[in-house]
Amino acid sequence: QIIILDYGSQYTQLLARRVRDLHVLAEVVPHNLSAEEIKKEYPNLKGIILSGGPASVYDDDAYTVDTKIFDMNLPILGVCYGLQLITHLNGGKVEKADKQEFGKAHLIIDEPSDLFLDVPKDSLVWMSHADHITKMPTDYIQLAHSDNSISAIKHQDKDIYGIQFHGEVTHSEYGVQMIKNFVFNICQAKEDWFMAEFIKDSVKSIKETVGDDQVILGLSGGVDSSVTAALINQAIGKQLTCIFVDTGLLRLNEGDKVMKLYHDNFDMNVIRVNAEDEFLDALKGVEEPEAKRKIIGKLFTDIFAREAKKFKNAKFLAQGTIYPDVIESSRQGSTSKVIKSHHNVGGLPEDLNFTLLEPLRELFKDEVRRVGLELGIPKNMIYRHPFPGPGLGIRVIGEVTKEKCDILRQADDIFISMLEERDLYDKVSQAFVTLLPVKTVGVMGDNRTYEYVCALRSVNTIDFMTATISHFEWSFLEEVVNRIINEVSGINRVTYDITSKPPGTIEWE
Ligand code: XMP
pLDDT tens string 65-108: 999 999 999 999 999 999 999 999 999 999 999 888 899 999 99
At what angle are helices 223-236 and 195-210 packed, to 10 degrees?
60
Whether the per-residue pLDDT at 456 is higher than 70: the answer is yes
Sign of the alpha-carbon dihedral angle for 66, 71, 72, 73: positive
pTM surpassing 0.90?
no
If one compares 317 and 329, the residue with the highest pLDDT of the two is: 317
For 338-383, give the DSSP string.
-SS----TTPPPTT---EEE-TTTT--HHHHHHHHHHTT--HHHHT
CATH number of the domain at 2-186, out of 3.40.50.880, 3.30.70.20, 2.170.150.20, 3.40.50.2300? 3.40.50.880
Does residue 454 carry a catalytic annotation? no
Sign of the alpha-carbon dihedral angle for 334, 336, 339, 343: negative
Does residue 80 carry a catalytic annotation? yes
Annotated binding site for ATP: 220-226
Residues forming beta bridges with residue 450, ordered by sequence position: 441
Q: Is the CB of 207 under 6 A from ligand 1?
A: no
**Is 195-382 the same fold as 2-186?**
yes
d(CA 479, CA 481): 5
Phi-psi region of 468 (alpha: psi -120 to 50; beta: other; left: phi over 0): beta
Ligand 1, residues 507, 508, 509: which to mutate, most atoms within 8 A of Cβ? 507
- Could you state, in order of their start, the residue ranges of all structural domains in the chain? 2-186, 195-382, 395-496
Give pLDDT, residue 440.
98
If one compares 223 and 221, the residue with the highest pLDDT of the two is: 223
For 84-102, give the DSSP string.
HHHHHHTT-EEEEEEEEEE
Residue nearest to atom 14 of ligand 1 (CA): 388
CA-derived radius of gyration, the chain = 27
d(CA 245, CA 242): 10
Does residue 242 carry a catalytic annotation? no
Active-site position among 129, 145, 155, 166: 166
Class of domain 395-496: alpha beta
Give pLDDT, residue 348.
55
Residue 170 Cα to ligand 1 midpoint, Å, equals 26
Residue 391 Cα to ligand 1 midpoint, Å, equals 9
Active-site position among 31, 88, 132, 168: 168
Give pLDDT, residue 299.
95
Mean pLDDT of 29-51: 93
Q: In 3-state terms, what secondary structure has residue 104?
A: strand
User: What counts of helices (H) and strands (E) characterise the chain?
Assistant: 14, 18
Q: Is the CB of 384 under 6 A from ligand 1?
A: no
Using alpha carbons only, give the angle 378, 379, 382 rounded to the nearest 5 degrees.
95
Q: Is the CB of 343 under 6 A from ligand 1?
A: yes
Confidence of residue 201 (pLDDT cuts 50, 70, 90): very high
Nearest to 409 by CA among 454, 379, 474, 442: 454
CATH fold for the domain made of 195-382:
Rossmann fold (3.40.50)
d(CA 19, CA 21): 5
